[in-house]
């Protein structure tokens, strides 16, 4: 059995190790760029990444792909790489050459910006992340918005699935009973199919329609 002195030393060491591990966040911002700007190891890594990606995007499979990659600190950019598609879409032409100021359709990554903006407003005292949704939005339907907070929505712990009616067997199967399911009525079925308005009424499709569009 370890002596008390050894045990105490190990506990102190573990605490110091844990205390030094922080993920970059508004509370623990990344180090300033001067820390890495002259790092030979980091510069070598960037050169290796550039060379590897250069070989990859030389393949014809990437003729229709454009992308931008940038590694930043809290104050400056350390490295960036941009690739413009060689075969552009004539129907929806984009930038002739992509760069650091190119605008991309970034889809769901905007959720991170929304969450960050809410956190900043919380820190500024303009709202609380534990406020309920119905304090800011007049939403109706069957979802209990008064029990759902900004915090749970931002952390995806609210219990609201995306397109919550999308996978209901009553919509996707002509005859659920044929699968061995018991007969059911329309009572309890979500009144709001996807897409819909906040009042629980379908916007452009009916409850019996089939989803034909891919997720966005």
Position 25 confidence tier, pLDDT thresholds 50, 70, 90: low
Q: What is the pTM of this model?
A: 0.43
Mean pLDDT of 118-128: 93
**93 or 136, greater pLDDT:** 136
DSSP-assigned letters across all residues of 122-153: HHTTS--TTSBGGGT----SSS-GGG-BHHHH
Q: Which of 150, 139, 158, 156 is nearest to 198 (CA)?
A: 139
- What is the reported pLDDT for 202? 43
- What is the reported pLDDT for 183? 79
- What is the reported pLDDT for 214? 33
Instruction: Using DSSP, state whether 67 is helix, strand or coil.
Output: strand
Is residue 122 over pLDDT 90? yes
Task: Please give the span between the terminal C-alpha atoms of the chain, in angstroms, as a whole number.
Answer: 58
Position 150 confidence tier, pLDDT thresholds 50, 70, 90: very high
Is residue 125 over pLDDT 90? yes
Q: Which of 9, 73, 62, 15 is nearest to 39 (CA)?
A: 73
Is residue 75 over pLDDT 80? no
Going from N- to C-terminal start, the domains of the chain cover: 25-88, 110-154, 161-216
- What is the reported pLDDT for 53? 92
Tokens 């400056």 found at: 76
């Amino acid at each position: 059995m370890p002596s008390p002195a050894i045990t105490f030393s190990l506990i102190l060491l573990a605490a110091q190790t844990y205390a030094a591990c922080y993920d970059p966040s508004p509370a623990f911002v990344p180090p300033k760029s001067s820390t890495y700007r002259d790092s030979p190891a980091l510069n070598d890594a960037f050169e290796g990444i550039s060379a590897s990606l250069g070989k990859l995007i030389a393949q014809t499979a990437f003729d229709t792909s454009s992308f931008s990659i940038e590694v930043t600190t809290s104050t400056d950019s350390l490295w960036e790489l941009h690739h413009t598609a060689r075969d552009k879409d004539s129907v929806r032409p984009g930038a002739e050459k992509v760069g650091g100021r190119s605008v991309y359709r970034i889809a769901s990554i905007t959720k991170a910006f929304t969450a960050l903006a809410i956190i900043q407003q919380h820190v500024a005292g303009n709202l609380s992340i534990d406020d309920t949704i119905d304090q800011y939005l007049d939403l109706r339907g069957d979802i209990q918005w008064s029990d759902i907070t900004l915090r749970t929505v931002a952390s995806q712990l609210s219990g609201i699935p995306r397109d919550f009616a999308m996978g209901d067997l009553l919509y996707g199967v002509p005859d659920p009973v044929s699968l061995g399911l018991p007969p059911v009525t329309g009572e309890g079925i979500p009144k709001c199919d996807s897409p819909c308005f906040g009042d629980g009424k379908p916007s452009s499709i009916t409850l019996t329609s089939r989803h034909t569009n891919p997720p966005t």
